[in-house]
Amino acid sequence: MQILLTAGHIIGTVLGVGGATFAEIFYLKSSRDGVIDPTESGFLKTTYFIMRTGMIFLLISGFGYLIWYRFTGQEALMYNPRFWAKLTIILIILANAILLQAKKISLNIGSAISLTSWYGALILGSWRTLETGYLQILIFYITAVFAVYFALKIIKNKIRIK
Amino acid sequence: MSLILKISLASHVILGIIAIIFFYAVWLNLFKQKLNLKLLKFSSLTGLIAFLLSWLTGGYYYVVYYGNAVRPGIKGGQFPWAHTIVMEAKEHIFLFLPFLAAISFIVLWFFGQTIATDAKLKKGLLFINAVIAVIGTAIALSGIIISGAIRQ
**SS3 annotation, A29-93:** HHCCCCCCCHHHHHHHHHHHHHHHHHHHHHHHHHHHHHHHHHHCCCHHHHHCHHHHHHHHHHHHH
Q: In Å, how far are A32, A67, B29, B148 from B24, measured between CA atoms? A: 33, 22, 9, 25
Chain B contact present for A38, CB below 8 A: no
* Reported ipTM: 0.90
Q: What is the pTM of this model?
A: 0.92
Which pLDDT score, from 0 to 100, does residue B125 have? 96
- Asked if pLDDT for residue B152 goes beyond 80, the answer is no
Q: Is B10 within 8 Å of A67 when comparing Cβ atoms?
A: yes
Chain B contact present for A91, CB below 8 A: yes
User: By percentage, how much of chain B surpasses pLDDT 90?
Assistant: 80
Condensed to tens digits (0 to 9), the pLDDT of residues A109-122 reads 999 999 999 999 99
Mean pLDDT confidence for A50-77: 93
The rounded distance, in Å, linking the Cα atoms of B71 and B62 is 9
Mean pLDDT confidence for A140-150: 96
Mean pLDDT confidence for A19-47: 86
Domain that holds residue B73: 3-149
Condensed to tens digits (0 to 9), the pLDDT of residues B34-53 reads 899 999 999 999 999 999 99
User: By percentage, how much of chain B surpasses pLDDT 70?
Assistant: 99
Residue B107, domain CATH: 1.20.120
Average pLDDT value for chain A: 91
Is-contact B15 B50, C-beta < 8 A? Answer: yes
Which pLDDT score, from 0 to 100, does residue B151 have? 72
How crowded is residue B31: how many other Cβ atoms within 10 Å of its Cβ? 17
User: Which among B6, B9, B150 has CB closest to A75?
Assistant: B150
Mean pLDDT confidence for A35-43: 84
For B23-32, B82-91, B132-141, which range has the lowest pLDDT when averaged over its residues?
B82-91
What are the residue ranges spanned by the domains of chain A?
A: 2-159
Which pLDDT score, from 0 to 100, does residue A162 have? 63
B interface with A, Cβ–Cβ < 8 A, is 1, 6, 9-10, 13-14, 17-18, 21, 24, 27-28, 31-32, 137, 140-141, 144-145, 147-152
- Asked if pLDDT for residue B96 goes beyond 60, the answer is yes
> Which residues of chain B have a CB within 8 Å of the CB of A76?
148, 151
